[in-house]
């Protein structure tokens, strides 16, 4: 993808995603205009310039499919994949994926992604090419009232805004809990030049980082994640702190289905389920420890 193709790719992402959900009897994902989806081009190109493949129709020159990817030391992540509904089921997504698999194989890296459990077109696209689920997540949304929520949680941990000095410890924590390394993403969130990210860290009484969590607040994506924490109590503390940043808004977050205490706590705050996702990997992956909260941009698992 070149810069003069961003608008067309944004339209494709918007149209492809919304029409897939509408056709399958679900609510559309993007509520605003197609230009909102430019966010994906902006964020992915900020992070990894030149890492978006597009498929163009030979007859019309129209962009029929697009897929972002981001290469990290430990793995390659596959970002949002879209095919125009006019071109569904013609092998375009498979073709884009095959190219990215080739890049991963050349670098001897595993590929990771998050895929919807309700979208078998996407689930099968990946599993047919050798991906397999690592973990299942509940997607939950929560309408945070203007006056905020009474979270009723213990404050045995200190939660504060992440700083550049925290990045080293964040990288080490995620590496230990998930076996991946992506310093670049954390630097980007904390630098926050687009003014859409928030990142909090949670510490014990000695100042040791036990968890961290980021969020994005933009009309195209209002999500809490990515982040990891040593345990569910820490996740609760840090999630509450971030939710408080969304007063009057309705963010989405993904919790591991196995994190049953924090899932129950989220229900008690008023959260509701909207989807189920799997983290998937092609190649080697470590069994997750602690609590992982993935996100869709930049996609992680
Ligand atoms: C998901 C999506 C990208 C697939 O694009 P596509 O170009 O139509 O997919 P392809 O034609 O390459 O088909 C993918 C593979 O899935 C297979 N497949 C689809 N449904 C299947 C099923 N129920 N069981 C088994 N295999 C299935 C196809 O047979 C094909 O495999 P093959 O080429 O080895 O035969 C497209 O539907 C889309 O853009 N959806 C909206 C956005 C989205 O969901 N994106 C993905 C998540 S980020």
The predicted pLDDT at position 165 comes to 97
**207 and 266 assigned to the same domain:** yes
For residues 194 and 289, state if they share a domain: yes
Is 243 within a domain?
Answer: yes
Verify whether ligand 1 is closer than 6 Å to residue 81 (CB atom). yes
Give a yes or no: residue 276 inside a domain: yes
Mean of pLDDT values over 159-176: 97
Which band of pLDDT confidence, cut at 50, 70 and 90, is reported for residue 78? very high
Torsion of CA 244, 135, 38, 201, to 10 degrees: 40
Full-model pTM: 0.95
15 lines ligand 1 (CB under 6 A): no
The whole-number pLDDT of residue 153 equals 78
- Nearest residue CA, atom 35 of ligand 1? 91
Q: State which of 111, 134, 157 marks the end of a domain.
A: 134
pLDDT at 256 over 70: yes
Q: Is the CB of 97 under 6 A from ligand 1?
A: no
User: Is 53 in the same domain as 171?
Assistant: no
Contact 265/236 with Cβ under 8 angstroms?
yes
Summarize the confidence of residues 54-64 as an average pLDDT: 96
29/173 same-domain check:
no
- How far, in Å, is the centroid of ligand 1 from the Cα of 94? 7
* Main-chain dihedrals φ then ψ at residue 66, nearest 5 degrees: -150, 150
Residue 300 has pLDDT above 90, yes or no: no
* Per-residue pLDDT tens over the stretch 214-252: 999 999 999 999 999 999 999 999 999 999 999 999 999
Q: How confident is the model at residue 299 (pLDDT cuts 50, 70, 90)?
A: confident
pLDDT tens track for 94-117: 999 999 999 999 999 999 999 999
Per-chain mean pLDDT for the chain: 96
Measured CA to CA in angstroms, residue 5 lies from 41, 282, 297 at distances of 10, 29, 19
- Residue 54 in this model has a pLDDT that exceeds 80: yes
Out of 97, 114, 134, a domain closes at 134
Question: pLDDT tens digits, residue range 118-167?
Answer: 999 999 999 999 999 999 999 999 999 999 998 877 777 899 999 999 99
Judgement on whether residues 95 and 26 belong to the same structural domain of the protein: yes
Say yes or no to pLDDT of 93 above 80.
Answer: yes
102 & 197 share domain? no
Tokens of 231: 């345990």
For ligand 1, whether the C-beta of 82 sits within 6 Å is yes
| Residue 261 domain-assigned (yes or no) | yes
* H/E stretch holding 107: helix 92-107
Of 23, 100, 21, the C-alpha closest to 55 is 100
Report how far ligand 1's centroid is from the alpha carbon of 115 (Å): 12
Same domain assignment for residues 174 and 68: no
Ligand 1 pocket residue status of 66, Cβ below 6 Å: no
Is the distance from the beta carbon of residue 119 to the nearest atom of ligand 1 less than 6 Å? yes
State how far the Cα of 32 lies from the Cα of 103, in Å rounded to an integer: 34
Q: Is residue 208 part of a domain?
A: yes
Residue 258 sits in a domain whose CATH number is 3.40.630.30
- Are residue 173 and residue 204 in the same domain, yes or no? yes
Same domain, 112 and 238: no
Ligand 1 centre and the CA of 92: distance in Å?
9
- 270 vs 154, which has greater pLDDT? 270
261 CA distance to ligand 1 middle (Å)? 35
In a domain, 299, yes or no: no
Q: 3-state DSSP call for residue 36?
A: helix
DSSP per residue over 254-291, as a string?
A: EEETT-HHHHHHHHHHT-EEEEEEEEEEES--PPP-SE
- Cα 299 to ligand 1 centre (Å): 19
Q: What is the pLDDT of residue 301?
A: 66
Q: Is residue 100 included in any domain, yes or no? A: yes
Q: What percent of the chain has pLDDT over 90?
A: 94
E strand or H helix at 161, and its extent? strand 158-161
Q: What is the per-residue DSSP string for 6-31?
A: HHHHHHHHHHHHHHHHHHTT---S--
Separation between Cα atoms, residue 183 and residue 206, nearest integer Å: 24
Q: Using CA positions, which residue lies closest to atom 28 of ligand 1? A: 125
Pocket test for ligand 1, best of 11, 19, 83, 112 (most atoms within 8 A of CB): 83
Q: What is the pLDDT of residues 18-36, one digit of tens each?
A: 999 999 999 999 999 999 9
Residue nearest to atom 31 of ligand 1 (CA): 125
Domain boundary among 119, 134, 149: 134
Instruction: Find the DSSP H helices in 220-283.
Output: 232-243, 260-269
Does ligand 1 come within 6 angstroms of the Cβ of 280?
Answer: no
Q: What residues make up the domain containing 103?
A: 3-134
pLDDT of residue 100: 98
């Amino acid at each position: 993808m070149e810069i003069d193709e961003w608008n067309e790719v944004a339209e494709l992402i918007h149209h492809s995603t919304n029409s897939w959900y509408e056709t399958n009897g679900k609510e559309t994902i993007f509520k605003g205009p197609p230009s909102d989806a430019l966010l994906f081009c902006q964020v992915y190109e900020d992070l990894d310039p030149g890492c978006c493949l597009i498929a163009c129709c030979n007859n019309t020159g129209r962009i029929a499919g697009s897929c972002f990817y981001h290469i990290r030391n430990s793995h390659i992540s596959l970002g949002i994949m879209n095919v125009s509904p006019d071109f569904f089921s013609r092998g375009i997504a498979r073709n884009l994926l095959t190219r990215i698999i080739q890049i991963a194989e050349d670098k001897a890296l595993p590929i990771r992604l998050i895929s919807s459990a309700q979208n078998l077109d996407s689930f099968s696209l990946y599993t047919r090419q050798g991906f397999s689920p690592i973990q299942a997540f509940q997607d939950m949304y929560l309408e945070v009232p203007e006056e905020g929520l009474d979270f009723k949680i213990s404050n045995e941990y200190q939660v504060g805004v992440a700083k550049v000095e925290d990045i080293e410890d964040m990288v080490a924590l995620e590496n230990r809990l998930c076996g991946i390394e992506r310093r670049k993403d954390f630097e980007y969130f904390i630098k926050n030049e687009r003014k859409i990210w928030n990142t909090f860290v949670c510490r014990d009484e000695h100042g040791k980082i036990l968890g961290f969590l980021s969020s994005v607040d933009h009309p195209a994506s209002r999500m809490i994640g990515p982040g990891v924490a040593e345990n569910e109590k820490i996740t609760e503390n840090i999630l509450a702190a971030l939710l408080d940043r969304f007063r009057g808004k309705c963010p989405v977050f993904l919790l591991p289905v196995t994190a049953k205490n924090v899932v129950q706590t989220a229900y008690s705050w008023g959260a509701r389920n909207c989807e189920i996702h799997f983290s998937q990997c092609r190649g080697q992956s470590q069994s997750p420890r602690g609590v992982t909260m993935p996100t869709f941009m930049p996609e992680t698992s």
